[in-house]
Every structure is written in structure tokens, then in C-alpha cells.
Amino acid sequence: MAESEASSYPPIEPTNFDLIIVGTGLPESILAAAASAVGKAVLHLDPNSFYGSHFATLSLTDLTSHLNSHSLPAPPPPPPSTSGSGDSDYAVVDLVQDPLYSDIEIEWHGSEDETSKMREDSRKFNIDLGGPRALFCADSCIDLLLKSGAAQYLEFKGVDASLVYEPNGGGLANVPDSRGAIFRDKNLSLKEKNQLMRFFKLVQQHLGGGGDQSDSGGEGQKISEEDLDSSFVSFLDKMRLPPKIKSILLYAIAMLDFDQDDSKVCKDFLKTKDSIDRLALYSSSVGRFPNAPGALIYPIYGEGELPQAFCRRAAVKGCIYVLRMAVTSLLMDKVTGCYKGVRLVSGQDLYSHQLILDPSFVIPSLLSSSLADFPREKIQLLSQRELKGMVARGICITRSSIKPDLLNCSVVYPPRSLYPEQVMSVRALQIGSNLAVCPAGTFILYFSTVCNDADEGKKLLKAAMNALLKPPVSVNSGSIPVVQSDNEDVQPIVLWNAFYIQKVFKGKFDSLTSAPTPDGNLNYADILDATEKLFSQMYPDQAFFPKTESPEDTMDENGVIMES
């Protein structure tokens, strides 16, 4: 058996690297590209057969099986391999996969025909594992894509509209996010339009006034330091903005998660200073690209394209890629307890200065006998991950759009818009077939919310789904006639849905590091910040994607893409 295994995995040459990365999620892929770009020898492995890890885009059946396999505790680790443990200087520490996903619910609602059709078409669906996620046109992510050269492998389309769910059955309204949108808005009163636009102008003046203080006039319009340090919600109160506008600014534009009016539940009061940055990001996004009608864009074929683009970039710069290659254990220095290398499932040992691990890997805290002499505190340190929170995610496949004339749109459900006890915003993103993620005539609708426990999160997502979609009729009760109101007729029917809870961990830096997990935000800003920080900790003297003379350089360097 050992013979056949060894033959199915050709050995990797060379065996020494500057950096080994396990998992091809977005942060890992960016780090691979960034490290390669500054001349580091990088090996990028992924136990999966696809790129992207937790940022992958998968077919319908792959998504289902992936979620299911990654929600169960991993099979017990194979018996510690004996080869080399006795005669080498390294302690072998086995890695365990601790699933990120739990509480998975997957349901089929369509008729038998529809279900079998969808199973047949499974490959035509490109479903994001970490949705809903999109990019602001003025996002730092766009700059990174351009700077790194990854942009050349990607195509985007604009999300047609940003919507907000109006409480008390108000339905969906456009977010009045620009001068033009305020002008066209049908829901705001004239007074509210005036107040909102004046607030936007105040923010603009505040942001723009710094440059030309000689011009005076504008100086009086600066927001005071005191206000900048106060919470955004109290600043809005001070500006005498009515609740409707406050809600739009807080949740649909600044994209806050927690109910800012409820000091008991709000874990995260955003300061005015930071909110202004978010507003600036949003407003500079509107109209940045002539083809994007709103603030958001989405990659064609799904978010999984992003890590792939960075991997291609890394490969161009000499990074070695091996997919379907699991790492079974770590090789640690027996004396210092420092990381030295990894042992692959093929049995090969590879060495590097640094290691970045997919966040789902953990080191069991139980000390195996072979590690009796291993520094205890070091193991303790490695086995601890800091749980930052949970995100409830939902995916629906529908037959029609939540807003008849739109294919793609984002939706925000502000706190208390679905039910009075709702303390978190829910964000949703509908992607239609023009982004090549689903067959024509179907739509994928993603939901997410930050939550404290699984039941609460799922309850909220289901309420959000039911507010826009026709409540799914159980397949079993298909024979029971259902009374349909006119209103239900226009609501999209759910063909398939999945709900799951994803844990969010905080990465820690050491010679071996856990990569950031997908967070509860709509964009990648926080993930990118964490990634860049990680890079500068690893390579303090190196630039994060230094400027190259010719960004168009192609595959002339010895880039290798190995898909064994």
C-alpha cells in the first residue's frame, strides 16, 4: 500500500522553501502571490481538488458534499508515521481538521422535474461558499488586483442596484446613495432628501476640505474632533437626522452589523471617524466605473475567481502549486519547538522557514506519546485559535428575481426591520445568470448575518428569506392545495436552499500561521488588511506587491501549475 501511495504522488522538488502555504483561500493566495513577487520560494498546497478553500465557488453538488464533509469532525488522524520520527531531529505533530461549518441544512423545494433538472445542471451553478460577497468599485481590493496584476485574469460586472428592506412590509427600496439616486428616490420626502444630501455634502466637505484650507470657507464645514471621536449614531442624532435616514446611513451605506440604537446588544459602536471612511468608500465607488451602475461589482463566474487569479499571478512569479495534496503533520524542532517543515500525505517531508495554514487545521492539544519531550507551552500556543464570532450564511436558488426588472442586486435588512427583536443587519446579494453563475432563468441569492448562536442566526436568515421569497412548500405536503394570494404570486419561488453557520477565527502570527477566515462583511477590506499585516510581519523589509516596470509580464518566468 505504501508503494502505491507513493507512486500516485510524484515527489516535489525542491524540498526546501521559504514559505509553504496550505490552503488556497483568498488570503493564502494573495500571500503566495505577494511572497513570490518579492522572490521568495513558495510552495502552495491544497488538499482539495479546487482552488479557493473557504472562498471557493463550487457546483451545486460539490458545494453540498463539501459542506457536509467539512461539518463533520475529521476522521481520526492516521497513525503517526514512523518513518523518520525516530532517526530525525524533528518531532512529528499531526494536524487535525476542525470544521468551520456546522448546523448545515440543505433542502430541495422544487418539483421532482425541477430537482432532477437542477441536479443535471449542477455544473452550471457556480455557488460561492463564503457569500454574499462583492467588491466596492473604490475598494482597496481593486487597487490590489491592479497592483498585483491579478486583474488581468478577472472580469467583473456591476451589481445593478443596492436595495434596502423597508420595515412593516414596505418591500425593497433603492438605497439613496448618490445625488442622482436621491433625486430619483420615490420613498423619501422632500425634506428627507434635503437632509440626506446635506449630510453627504458635509461628509464630502469634511473629506475634501483638508487639501485646500487656503480656500477657507470650507474650513467651517469640518466635522469637529469631538464629533469624530463620538459614536456615529450619536453624531447622526446630533445632526437631527430622522430614523429613516439614520437607518440608511448606518446599515445600508456604512454597512454596520449591530443595532446601533441598542446599547445592550451592540458590541461594536462605530466611531464617526471610521463611518466617514465607509461613507467615502461607498460614495467614491458610485460612478467610478462607467459600466457599473452602482457601488458594487461582482466577478464573473463567482468569487472563487479571485483566489485563482492570485494563484496564477503567484505561479507566474515561480510559486509551485500542488492541489489534492494534504499535509498530515508538522515537523517541529525537538529542542526549540520551532516549526521546521511539513509531512505530506505522500509521506514526503518538505522544509520551509514559514508556514501558513488553512484556518480549519488545528493541532490537537492532546500530546501524543512521541512528543513527550516537546516543549509543552509551545504546543499549547499552537493549538489555540481565537474564535472571533460566527456568521450564519444562507443560499437560495430561485426561479425569478426578487425585483422584477433586476438581475443582480444587493439588499440590506437593517436591525428591527424583520422583527422587533432583530438586533443584527442581514445582508443579501442576488446574482443572476448574466454573471455566469447559474443557468438562465434562475437566480442565486446569498444571505448572511453575524450571530451569537446558530439558532438565532438561522432564524434571522429564514425571516429575511421569507420576507422576499415565497415560503418553500415542503415536498411532502405537495399534495395539499395551497391557497395563493396575489402577493405570493409575484414572489420568487425557492427551488433549493442551504443554511449553515461558519466560525470566524482570528489569525495569529508565528512561524506557522493560520490564515484569516471569511468574515461577515460584504467586501474584503478587513480580510485584505489582515493579509497585508501578515505579510509585513513575515517579511518586514519587503514591499507588498512592489511596483514592476511592466505589469503585463507573462508566463516567461518558470511558473509551474501542477494539478496532480
Partner 1 sequence: MHGRPRNVLKEEDTAALSAKAEKLRLLQSHFLANHHNRIYTKEALEENAKLLENNPEWHTAWNYRKLAVESFLTDSHSDPETVKSVLDEELRVVENALRKNFKSYGAWHHRKWVLSKGHSSIDKELRLLAAFQKADARNFHAWNYRRFVTTLMKIPDEEELKYTEEVIGANFSNYSAWHNRSILLSNLLKRKAEGYFPKEIVLEGEFELVHNAIFTDPDDQSGWFYHLWLIDQMVKIDAPLLVSSWPSHGLNITLQGNKCLHGSGLSVLNSTLPNTGTLPIILYFNQAVEGIDSSTVNVKSELLNGDLVWKPLSTNNSNNAQVWVAYLNIGNLDVQRSKTYVIEINLGHSKGIVSSNGYDYGHASRVTFELCIQSAYTESVEQQDGKITSEIDHIPTTSGRCEEAIVNEISQFRDLLSEIDCKIGKLTLARLLTALDSMPSPRANNMVHTEEILQLYDDLMRLDPTHYLYYKDEHSLVLLRQITSSRESLLPYCYYKKDATEAVPGYVCLRLQNLSLSRMGSIENLLWVQMLDLSHNQLRSIEGLEAMQLLSCLNLSHNKLGSFNALGPLRLIKSLKVLDISYNEIGSHTIDTRRYLCSSPLCHTEEFAWDQFETLTDSIHISAAKFWEPFLIFQSMKLTQLDIKGNAVADEIFGSFIIRVLPTLKWLDEEDLS
Sign of the alpha-carbon torsion through 5, 6, 7, 9:
positive
Q: Are strands 494-506 and 386-398 parallel, antiparallel or unpaired?
A: antiparallel
How far the first Cα of the chain sits from its last, in Å, is 19
Task: Work out how close the CB of 185 gets to partner 1 at its nearest, in angstroms, rounded to a whole number.
Answer: 8
Chain centroid, CA 45 distance in Å: 20
Shorter beta-carbon distance to partner 1: residue 24 or 195 = 195
Task: Work out how close the CB of 460 gets to partner 1 at its nearest, in angstroms, rounded to a whole number.
Answer: 34
Shorter beta-carbon distance to partner 1: residue 244 or 317 = 244
Shorter beta-carbon distance to partner 1: residue 106 or 181 = 181
Task: Work out how close the CB of 193 gets to partner 1 at its nearest, in angstroms, rounded to a whole number.
Answer: 5
Task: Work out how close the CB of 191 gets to partner 1 at its nearest, in angstroms, rounded to a whole number.
Answer: 6
Give the cell for residue 411.
439588499
Mapping DSSP onto H, E and C, the string for 422-470 reads CCECEEEEEECHHHCCCCCCCEEEEEEEEECCHHHHHHHHHHHHHHHCE
- Cell 425585483 belongs to 403
Task: Work out how close the CB of 184 gets to partner 1 at its nearest, in angstroms, rounded to a whole number.
Answer: 6
Let me know the angle formed at the C-alpha of 264 by 263 and 268, rounded to the nearest 5 degrees. Answer: 60
Shorter beta-carbon distance to partner 1: residue 38 or 182 = 182
CA dihedral 163, 166, 169, 172 (to 10 degrees): -10
Shorter beta-carbon distance to partner 1: residue 115 or 221 = 221
Task: Work out how close the CB of 200 gets to partner 1 at its nearest, in angstroms, rounded to a whole number.
Answer: 10
Task: Work out how close the CB of 180 gets to partner 1 at its nearest, in angstroms, rounded to a whole number.
Answer: 6
Shorter beta-carbon distance to partner 1: residue 117 or 184 = 184
Cβ proximity of 506 and 385 under 8 Å: yes
Task: Work out how close the CB of 204 gets to partner 1 at its nearest, in angstroms, rounded to a whole number.
Answer: 12
Cβ proximity of 480 and 44 under 8 Å: no
| 562 to 78, 320, 436: CA distances (angstroms) | 26, 7, 26
Shorter beta-carbon distance to partner 1: residue 192 or 532 = 192
Shorter beta-carbon distance to partner 1: residue 197 or 436 = 197
Shorter beta-carbon distance to partner 1: residue 205 or 433 = 205
Q: Which among 328, 298, 310, 357 has a CA at the least distance from the CA of 51?
A: 310
Shorter beta-carbon distance to partner 1: residue 183 or 419 = 183
Give the cell for residue 154.
478577472
Shorter beta-carbon distance to partner 1: residue 191 or 264 = 191
Shorter beta-carbon distance to partner 1: residue 221 or 348 = 221
Question: Which parts of this chain interact with partner 1 (CB under 8 A)?
Answer: 179-180, 182-185, 190-191, 193-195, 197-198
Task: Work out how close the CB of 212 gets to partner 1 at its nearest, in angstroms, rounded to a whole number.
Answer: 13
Q: Count Cα atoms within 13 angstroms, Cβ side, for 198.
A: 11
Q: Residue 162: what are its φ and ψ, rounded to 5°?
A: -105, 125
Task: Work out how close the CB of 35 gets to partner 1 at its nearest, in angstroms, rounded to a whole number.
Answer: 42
Q: Which among 385, 364, 513, 542 has a CA at the least distance from the CA of 28?
A: 513
| 252 to 58, 80, 180, 279, 451: CA distances (angstroms) | 28, 52, 17, 10, 18
Task: Work out how close the CB of 216 gets to partner 1 at its nearest, in angstroms, rounded to a whole number.
Answer: 18
Cis peptide before 132 (omega within 30 of 0): yes
Helix (H, G, I), strand (E, B) or coil at 505: strand
Cβ proximity of 410 and 134 under 8 Å: yes
Task: Work out how close the CB of 30 gets to partner 1 at its nearest, in angstroms, rounded to a whole number.
Answer: 37
Q: Count Cα atoms within 13 angstroms, Cβ side, for 132.
A: 26
Give the cell for residue 234.
450619536
